[in-house]
Structure formats: structure tokens, C-alpha cells
Amino acid sequence: MNLEDERTEAGPAVSANDASRPLVSMLLIAYNQAGVIADAVAGALAQRYSPLEILISDDCSSDGTFAAIEAAVRDYRGPHRVVLNRNEKNAGISAHLSQLAAKSQGDLLVVTAGDDVSSPERCERLVACWNAHGRKIDLIASDLEEFEGAKGQQGKDGEAGRIAPTDLGQYRNFDDWARERPWLVGASHAWSRRLFERFGPMLPGAMAEDQIMTFRAVMSGGAVSLREPLVRYRRGGLSGKKRLRTVEQFIARVKQTNAFGLVESAQFERDADIAGVGDAMRALLVPKLARECYVRDLFAARGFGERLMLALRRPHIKLGFRIRMFLYAACPSVYRPFFALRALVKR
């Protein structure tokens, strides 16, 4: 059996008979989170809202994540429909969420990360917000609350541990979005199904979905921020930065992040064409794409001379960035003393 198509279901079929209570789908994605996934599953199963389907999917983890998921739902006898999925190959965040969106049936899709915990009233409050806006908006972003020994962040409202991302209500068109991209945490987002019906699945290989889906919403029915902490956010999980101890690890991170950025740029261009602002998006992306293509070409080049010529022939990119990336690609040993000193200081 192809595990990518394996679906284990529990609970009754769900349907939306009450016009004020649309069918909601929670999309819970997990990857190498065996130690924390049970908390995320428990938060989903505890939702007070109905009708609700919960899709829980393991993205080909190398640990016991899927077994932990199965154990967490084994004794569930509640009202929600639960669907389990395990990917045979790792899809990455953007493709994984697109897969689950395609398998879901709900009108409102609630994103849930495998290392975070949704409050029991999360879906209930999101639907209330959606109904209050006549279901015309296409993305709702709630606040979050940090937990589990994470380093506290002073929230914008002055409350320790509260994470309040950018107010999305101020973004009404392309110019608003282009002027300053919002700061987001995708683990607290909910999307309308319309965004996938209009724009289609996300391209595989993007590092995250938050900016992509927010842009889609701004160019469609709009996005709003719900100033309620409906997600307990485990900072330092998959979304946390890993400590890089060597220059080789840093270079690997640079190359990976750059590859993610190239996919994101391609996604923005494609979505902007659908939204009718393709030319404006391409003009906006010129400096971003120039840097990304420079880094890609630099590490793909053969030998010192070819890399040096690339650095000299890209004058439209800031000199400091060109030199720094050139040194990482052509003579990484220059940075080894710095990484060794930093490791010594931290010890």
C-alpha cells in the first residue's frame, strides 16, 4: 500500500446543516515531533465547535511521530471526524498543507502545527469572527501565547508571553502589502477554501506558507487579525532556529534558505498573475530575486575564478552582501576562526 494514500478514519461523517455553523477542517501537520505531537492532537480533539473534521498528517518522519499520533487518537470517541495520513516521502510545509487542503471538505481551514496546542475554543471563535465579517474575508490570524519554558517575548500589548503579529486589517490591496510585508505566525492562521479554489495548491519547496497565503487573502476577500490568544505556541520547536556550530553548517543553511526563497518568489509571481498584478509583483521582486539568483549561481559555480567573475558582474547587488557570500562560497576557511571563537564563548 502507498502510505501517502493511507487514511485511517474515526468518528462520524460530518456535514453542515446550520447555515451559521459551516463545516471546519483542522489541518494538523507533523514532522519529527514524537515527543510533543500528543499535545497538539489533544488540543484538536478538545475543540468545542461542531461540525468539525480533523486531518492529522505525518510528513514522513524519521522518528515515532506517526505511532504517537495513532496512540493519541486510539481511544477517541468524540463527535469530530478524524482522518490520519502518513506521507511516504517528505513533502515540506507548503506541499503538505496543500495536500491536506485538497483532502479536506470544510469551508474554513484551520492550520495546526504539530508542536503547538490549540485552545478548546479556537475553531468556535474563528467561525464567530468569520460570520461577523459575512464570510467575505479569506484569512483570519489570531494571537498566540508562548509556553513550555520558551523564552518569553514581550507582546505588543505589554503582556509577557503574548505574541501579537501584525494587524492584517490594514492590508487592503497590493500597494499596502508591497509597502511593508506583515510579520506573521502561520501556526495561528485559518483560511477560506476559496483561496485554494482560486489560486490552486502551493508550489512545493517553500519554507513556509504564511506570507504566501496572506498575500492571496489580501488580493481576494481580505484578511483580519483576531486579538485573542487561541494557540499555545512552542517557541524553539520546528520553527525555532537551530544553533549552527560550523561554517559548513552555516553554508548549508544559506543554500537551503535561498532555495526556499526562490520558490517563494516563483509562487508570488504566479499568484500575482492570477490576481492581475503580475507586472507590479515582478518589479517589486527585482532586488530579492537578484540576491537569490546571485547566491544560487555563486554556489553552483566551478572554481574561484568563476565565482569572482560573478561577484564582479553583479554591481546592482549591495557590495557587502556580494563580498560576504563570495567568501562563504569561494574561501569558507576565512570564517572558521569566527565560528570556533563563538563556540568557545558559548561553552
Residues ≥6 apart with Cβ < 8 Å to 62: 32
Per-residue pLDDT of the chain in tens (347 residues, 90 and over written 9): 233 444 455 555 555 557 889 999 999 999 999 999 999 999 999 999 999 999 999 999 999 999 999 999 999 999 999 999 999 999 999 999 999 999 999 999 999 999 999 999 999 999 999 999 999 999 999 999 998 644 434 444 444 589 999 999 999 999 999 999 999 999 999 999 999 999 999 999 988 899 999 999 999 999 999 999 999 998 765 555 566 778 899 999 999 999 999 999 999 999 999 999 999 999 999 999 999 999 999 999 999 999 999 999 998 999 999 999 999 999 998 988 877 777 677 66
C-alpha closest to that of 161 among 232, 228, 250: 232
Query: What does the DSSP assignment read for 73-100?
Result: HTT--SSSEEEEEE-SS---HHHHHHHH
Give the chain's length.
Answer: 347
Distance CA 214, CA 345 (A): 40
Q: In the prediction, which pLDDT does 147 show?
A: 83
Instruction: Read off the pTM.
Output: 0.88
DSSP 50: S
Distance CA 33, CA 40 (A): 10
Distance CA 126, CA 118 (A): 12
Contact assessment for residue 139 and residue 213, using Cβ atoms and an 8 Å cutoff: yes
Q: In the prediction, which pLDDT does 336 show?
A: 83
Distance CA 111, CA 118 (A): 10
Q: In the prediction, which pLDDT does 340 show?
A: 76
The 3-state DSSP class for residue 312 equals helix
Domains of the chain: 3-233 (3.90.550.10), 247-346 (no CATH)
Give the helix/strand (H/E) hosting 340: helix 336-346
Is the torsion defined by CA of 94, 98, 100, 101 positive or negative?
Answer: positive
Q: Please count the CA atoms within 13 angstroms of the CA of 119 that sit on its side-chain side.
A: 18
Q: In the prediction, which pLDDT does 52 show?
A: 98
Query: What does the DSSP assignment read for 243-266?
Result: P--SHHHHHHHHHHHHHHHHHHHH
The 3-state DSSP class for residue 67 equals helix
DSSP 158: S
Residue type, 79: P
Q: Are strands 223-233 and 139-146 parallel, antiparallel or unpaired?
A: parallel
Q: In the prediction, which pLDDT does 1 show?
A: 24
All cell numbers assigned to 143: 494571537
DSSP 14: -
DSSP 148: S
Residue type, 26: M
Distance CA 288, CA 14 (A): 45
C-alpha closest to that of 202 among 286, 260, 124: 260
Distance CA 309, CA 1 (A): 51
